[in-house]
């Protein structure tokens, strides 16, 4: 497997990585609260840590959905978290024009699941020289993600991650086929399991997405048993107050419990 080095974090090198943070970069204060807690938790658990938050959630369910602080303020928040805690940061990019600016701050550029086939976006992310995390589309078979990898590699960039986040199963529902982790890992890239987006109910609240937080733990355990290089979780100290994805976000106690067990399983099968 090709190891992907991002600052002091190595994906695919045998050690578990946590990618964790709030769905949106709601404020610098919130991001620092989450980053500080997760950095300490990961140090205690012997897990590598990458902070995640989005400056723009461009695919909200409704026109009135809160999207985030925007490019300029969002990148300022990410840069401040990166400097204060000395951790790599990851964020979504939605358009090619955003990529150069985001790459000045983010260590990993994330391609949202809905955009995983967008050739120009994948090329732009690859040309940035940053590591690229491609989320498997809810409409994609895992073997078809080989094409997304090839598009980034065509730019000369081999720093790639693939993320499983569930597959559409009828209206307002996702399921996780754990075989996809095996399939995508066979491409020679580290694989990530997005445990919290996998329990989303897209559009399930009518004008917003719902979620089944109670299924995060069993799915994370199953993914760890199959074999993953990183666990992706949305974490908020007060999930019911989150601007987006609250129903599938974890609070501090929940992420501690899940990470402890996932680390044990990861080490057992390593």
* Residue 194 covered by a domain: yes
Are residues 66 and 244 in contact, defined by beta-carbon separation less than 8 angstroms? Answer: yes
* Residue 4 covered by a domain: no
* Residue 237 covered by a domain: yes
Query: Angle of helix 252-269 relative to helix 28-45, nearest 10 degrees?
Result: 40
- Supply the pLDDT for residue 58: 76
114: domain range? Answer: 16-269
* Residue 8 covered by a domain: no
* Residue 190 covered by a domain: yes
Q: Which helix (H) or strand (E) holds 82?
A: helix 71-85
How do residues 42-73 score in pLDDT, each as one tens digit?
Answer: 999 999 999 999 999 777 667 777 788 899 99
Close Cβ partners of 157 (under 8 Å, ≥ 6 residues apart) = 125, 126, 127, 128, 129, 132
Nearest by Cα to 100 from 86, 121, 80: 121
- Number of domains the chain is built from: 1
- Supply the pLDDT for residue 14: 95
| pTM > 0.85 | yes
């Amino acid at each position: 497997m090709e190891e992907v080095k991002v600052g002091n974090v190595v994906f695919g090198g045998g050690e578990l990585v946590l990618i964790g943070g709030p769905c949106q970069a709601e404020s610098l204060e919130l991001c620092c609260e989450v980053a500080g807690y997760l950095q300490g938790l990961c140090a205690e658990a012997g897990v590598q840590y990458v902070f995640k938050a989005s400056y723009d959630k461009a695919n909200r369910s409704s026109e009135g959905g809160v999207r985030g602080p925007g490019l300029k303020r969002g990148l300022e928040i990410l840069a401040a978290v990166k400097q204060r805690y000395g951790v790599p940061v990851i964020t979504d990019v939605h358009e090619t024009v955003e990529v150069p600016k985001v790459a000045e701050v983010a260590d990993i550029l994330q391609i949202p699941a809905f955009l995983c086939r967008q050739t120009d976006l994948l090329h732009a992310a690859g040309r940035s020289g940053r590591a690229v995390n491609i989320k498997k589309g809810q409409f994609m078979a895992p073997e078809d993600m080989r094409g997304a990898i090839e598009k980034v590699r065509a730019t000369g960039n081999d720093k790639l991650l693939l993320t499983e986040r569930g597959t559409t199963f009828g209206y307002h529902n996702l399921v996780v086929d754990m075989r996809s982790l095996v399939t995508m890992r066979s491409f020679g890239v580290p694989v990530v399991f997005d445990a919290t987006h996998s329990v989303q109910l897209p559009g399930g609240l009518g004008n917003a997405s719902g979620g089944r937080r109670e299924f995060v733990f069993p799915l994370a355990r199953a993914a760890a048993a199959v074999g993953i290089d990183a666990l992706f979780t949305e974490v908020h100290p007060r999930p019911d107050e989150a601007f987006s994805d609250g129903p599938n976000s974890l609070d501090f106690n929940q992420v501690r419990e899940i990470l402890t067990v996932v680390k044990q399983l990861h080490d057992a099968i390593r």
